[in-house]
Amino acid sequence: MVETLVAVGILVVAVVGALTAAQSGISSSIFSKNQVIAIYLAQEGVEVIRNIRDENALNDRSWLVGISDNSSDPCYFGNTCYVDALQNTLTRCSGGGSCPNLKQDSDTGFYGYNLLWSETGFRREIILTFINQNEISILVTVDWSKGSIDRQFRVRENILNWQ
């Protein structure tokens, strides 16, 4: 009887250890997947602003038109804004600087703000800082939650007026 109890105890410890390791691996893979998505969403935010700057150069406009040229622009220095990569637009976040969560098209996998798409746990915010007449700093923050744990990824990049 004692030998059976010891054998069952050893078996339970082995199974619990294996299940704990498997659960930890699954949790780590989900975190890694979400972190990679956040990295790409942050880089996309920088690329949209860079694209607007380049289009301004091609159309013979000031390099900050539509970005942060004057206080009526959505992303005027110090304002919190968000970008829609599919529309190539910047929008000022609503009062208090709270930007909406990104949505995802289940067919294409694209992220954006189409009301028909499914909401994700990712939120992207952009703040521009004036450096000088030919340089601005872009800070993109992507937030997401997994359960009760909040995560954040930030990228900062400076872009120049290369015209």
Annotate the chain with three-state secondary structure: CHHHHHHHHHHHHHHHHHHHHHHHHHHHHHHHHHHHHHHHHHHHHHHHHHHHHHHHHHCCCCCCCCCCCCCCCCCCCCCEEEEECCCCEEEECEHHHECCEEEECCCCCCEECCCCCEEEEEEEEEEEEEEECCEEEEEEEEEEEECCEEEEEEEEEEEECCC
> Mean per-residue pLDDT for 10-35?
74
Number of domains in the chain: 1
- Between these two residues, 30 and 154, which has the higher pLDDT value? 154
Q: pTM of the predicted model, to two decimals?
A: 0.82
- Confidence bin at 26 (pLDDT 50/70/90): low
**Residue 24: per-residue pLDDT:** 66
Can you give the pLDDT at residue 96?
64
If one compares 16 and 114, the residue with the highest pLDDT of the two is 114
Residues 6+ away with beta carbon under 8 Å from 14: none
| pLDDT-based confidence at residue 101 (cuts at 50, 70, 90) | very high
Could you tell me the residue range of the domain that residue 55 belongs to?
2-160
Asked whether the predicted pLDDT for residue 8 surpasses 90, the reply is no
Residues of the chain above pLDDT 90, percent: 57
Query: Residue 60 in contact with residue 69, Cβ under 8 Å?
Result: no
State which amino acid sits at residue 20: T
**Structure confidence by residue, pLDDT tens digits, 47-99:** 999 999 999 999 999 999 888 877 777 788 888 999 999 888 899 998 766 89
What would the pLDDT profile of 33-48 be if each residue is shown by its tens digit?
899 999 999 999 999 9
Mean pLDDT of the chain: 87
